[in-house]
A = this chain, B = another copy of it.
Amino acid sequence: MTSADQVPFDDRGLAYGDGVFETVLLRDGVPLLWPYHRARLLRGCRVLGLEPPDDAALAATWQAPASGLEVLKIILTRGSGGRGYALPESPAPRLLSRRTPFAPAASRWQGVDVCLCTLRLARQPALAGIKHLNRLENVLARQEWQRADIAEGLLADSDGNLVEATAMNVFWLADGVFRTPPLDACGVAGTLRAALLEQGVVGEAPLSVETLLDSELIEQLFVGNSVQGVWPVNTLTTPDGEPLRRFSPTSASPLQAAAHRLLGYVPLSGPSLSGEKR
């Protein structure tokens, strides 16, 4: 295991996206949801057949003292070497990290508009759920909209199932229960999503795009991740901003409250905060 802040030409993370990453919220130097980030990183190593870093090496990425909010990004690549796609005989994975001061887009906690991307995610069960470095689908999807009033883009798979947003997981309320799609064919299993599942706040259920667009049973929609928290969705649009569907107002949702407790964000107390930037 070597640490670096750049990689050489023959690094397999650069050459093939052969590695995984994590994006972790730090508050006063302490990582939030760390057990979930660690578990996903190790799961990624298992899936890719990559030697996992030890806990001391991981902790060294965040143990310098700090105050306030930061985002820690960790990249783990398989390191250099190998003949083409074949693995190196003695792999020396490369661990890179960077900390950046951070402020969440708190106004979005009141509600956002999101679009439905036209790109469909390919179904690849062998890579589903892990946060690997092959993210061209996300990059392509993010190019579908330029409007600043669209906060995220929803992604469905090639079978028409809702999967995630480009950098967030997706949740909805139906029949009084919060749901999120299973991620056994594609998508990144977010750490906030994992914690909310473990707490029983949400459960997994499939949802087709057709049902999302048409069914009155889907009362509320949310996108969220472990850095930004949870954004309720007001309007689902096309990438050009044409409305497809509106959802019920959702400030002070129990889903958002549970998520923001996990992240240490002050819970919103209701509509009186509407429009306030915090």
| Closest chain B residue to A143, Cβ basis | B49
Partner pick for A135 among B17, B77, B119, B186, CB 8 A cutoff: B17
- Contact flags (1/0) for A135-158 with B, using CB distance below 8 Å? 111111111000000000000001
Complex interface: chain B residues within 8 A of A123 (CB): 122-123, 158
The answer to whether residues A127 and B136 also contact, given A6-B7, A141-B85, A142-B87 and a CB cut-off of 8 A, is yes
Q: Would you call B9 and A8 a contact (CB within 8 A)?
A: no
- Expressed in whole angstroms, the Cα–Cα distance for A44 and B121 within the complex equals 19
**Is A124 close to B, CB under 8 A?**
yes
**Is A269 close to B, CB under 8 A?**
no
**Is A96 close to B, CB under 8 A?**
yes
**Is A195 close to B, CB under 8 A?**
no
With most chain B CB atoms within 10 A of its CB, the pick from A11, A13, A16, A119 is A16
Q: Would you call A96 and B142 a contact (CB within 8 A)?
A: no
The answer to whether residues A8 and B6 also contact, given A85-B138, A136-B134, A142-B86 and a CB cut-off of 8 A, is yes
In the complex, chain A residues 16-35 whose Cβ is within 8 Å of any chain B Cβ: 16-18, 21
Q: Would you call A48 and B139 a contact (CB within 8 A)?
A: yes
| Closest chain B residue to A119, Cβ basis | B126
Complex interface: chain B residues within 8 A of A16 (CB): 17, 133-136, 138-139
Complex interface: chain B residues within 8 A of A48 (CB): 136, 139-140
Q: Give the interface of A toward B (CB within 8 A).
A: 5-18, 21, 48-49, 73, 75, 77, 84-87, 96, 98, 119, 121-124, 126-127, 132-143, 158, 166-167, 186
